[in-house]
């Protein structure tokens, strides 16, 4: 019998299609992992091709090297084809206006690229912990800078891995976008979390963590600071959330001592995906609050990972509900027990 499950935090309903259910191992990609070279002369992100984008917002470099030159470990640069225009551009104002009966505003925002590694053929799953720590540190540094800019209301950090996830470059990279609005679906998530807090006086995410620690069957990994589990109402097969064990509202409040444990659990989860499912395409996003809500007690920042191993079809588009053809308990067990060699 199919089962409908509700996500306690987002209130989204998901159909767990048990009659169509596949075993966890059936999602392993059939094609072989493509081995890329460490350097691609045509790649704009590779070390040695800095002339394509000499401007560095952040550069973690070897001592004695300069921005725009070789010798870097990680770079944050402006997106050459930004979705939004920086607030410092002339004649740009952050205000709404009318176009007939419709509402519009200038496309104010910031769009940056985090080139995660100098090597073309690495991904987070195959990096060491120190390399992933640099990525987390760059995320946090840029988040703080953009979060405090009064022009911006929301900072979104995300990663597209593979063509099905929207990645246009093989070279390991993430993106950071600051927007002048908070989109409706994100506001709705905040609203539901706030409503839960108003009713029960507790953070819904903290309650979910407590429940997962008690039931144990959807947990994949846990360390001294973070937990990774598959939601009870996972939207897609292998959807995974990584959350701080202690209540922290905003990603801005990530402490220095938290960076290494976060890097470790993120790398380990993605390594399990990489080796157990043969490097599936995925998206991940850091879910955090706008600056003006950073001290509110009802939210809890987290990383949402969505593997792209199934296709969204007409029912999902028409109903707004997802159909998950796996049981989160089974896929979590599969990943939990898989050992990366």
Catalytic residues: 173
- CB neighbourhood size of 276 (10 A): 20
Cα distance between residue 247 and residue 218, in whole Å: 20
Counting every residue written for the chain, the total comes to 341
CB 92 within 8 A of CB 149: no
Sign of the dihedral through C-alpha 178, 189, 271, 144: positive
The CA distances from residue 311 to 201, 235, 322, 325, 334, in Å, are 38, 12, 10, 11, 22
Partners of 99 in the β-ladder: 102
Cα distance between residue 219 and residue 215, in whole Å: 9
Cα distance between residue 199 and residue 196, in whole Å: 5
Where does residue 104 rank: exposed (0-12), middle (13-18), buried (19+ CB within 10 A)? Answer: exposed
Cα distance between residue 307 and residue 281, in whole Å: 6
Give CA 98 to chain center in angstroms: 34
- Region for residue 87 given its phi and psi (left: phi exceeds 0; alpha: psi -120 to 50; beta: otherwise): alpha
Q: Report phi then psi at 205, rounded to 5.
A: -70, -40
């Amino acid at each position: 019998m199919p089962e409908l499950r509700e996500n306690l935090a987002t209130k989204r309903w998901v159909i767990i299609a048990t009659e169509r259910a596949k075993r966890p191992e059936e999602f392993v990609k059939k094609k072989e992992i493509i081995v890329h070279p460490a350097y691609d002369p045509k790649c704009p992100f590779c070390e040695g091709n800095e002339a394509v984008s000499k401007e560095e917002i952040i550069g973690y470099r070897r001592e004695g090297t300069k921005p725009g030159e070789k010798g870097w470990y990680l770079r944050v640069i402006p997106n050459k084809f930004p979705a939004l225009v920086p607030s410092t551009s002339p004649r740009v104002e952050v205000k709404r206006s009318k176009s007939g009966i419709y509402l519009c505003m200038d496309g104010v925002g910031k769009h940056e690229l985090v080139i995660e590694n100098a090597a073309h053929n690495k991904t987070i799953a195959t990096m060491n912990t120190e390399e992933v720590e640099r990525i987390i540190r760059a995320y946090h540094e840029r988040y703080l800078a953009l979060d405090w800019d009064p022009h911006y209301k929301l900072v979104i950090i995300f990663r597209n891995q593979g063509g099905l996830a929207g990645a246009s470059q093989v070279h390991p990279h993430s993106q950071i976008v600051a927007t002048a609005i908070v989109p409706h679906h994100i506001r709705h998530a905040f609203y539901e979390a706030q409503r839960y807090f108003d009713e029960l006086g507790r953070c819904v995410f903290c309650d979910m963590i407590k429940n997962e620690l008690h039931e144990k069957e959807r947990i994949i990994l846990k360390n001294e600071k973070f937990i990774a589990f598959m939601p009870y109402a996972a939207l897609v097969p292998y959807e995974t959330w990584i959350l701080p064990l202690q209540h922290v509202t905003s990603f801005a409040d990530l402490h220095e001592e938290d960076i290494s444990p976060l890097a470790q659990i993120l790398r380990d989860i993605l390594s399990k995906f990489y080796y157990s499912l043969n490097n599936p395409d995925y998206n991940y996003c850091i879910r955090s609050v706008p600056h003006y809500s950073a001290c509110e007690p009802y939210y809890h920042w987290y990383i949402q990972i969505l593997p792209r191993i199934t296709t969204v079809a007409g029912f999902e588009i028409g109903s707004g509900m997802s159909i998950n053809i796996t049981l989160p308990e089974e896929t979590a067990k599969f990943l939990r027990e898989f050992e990366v060699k």
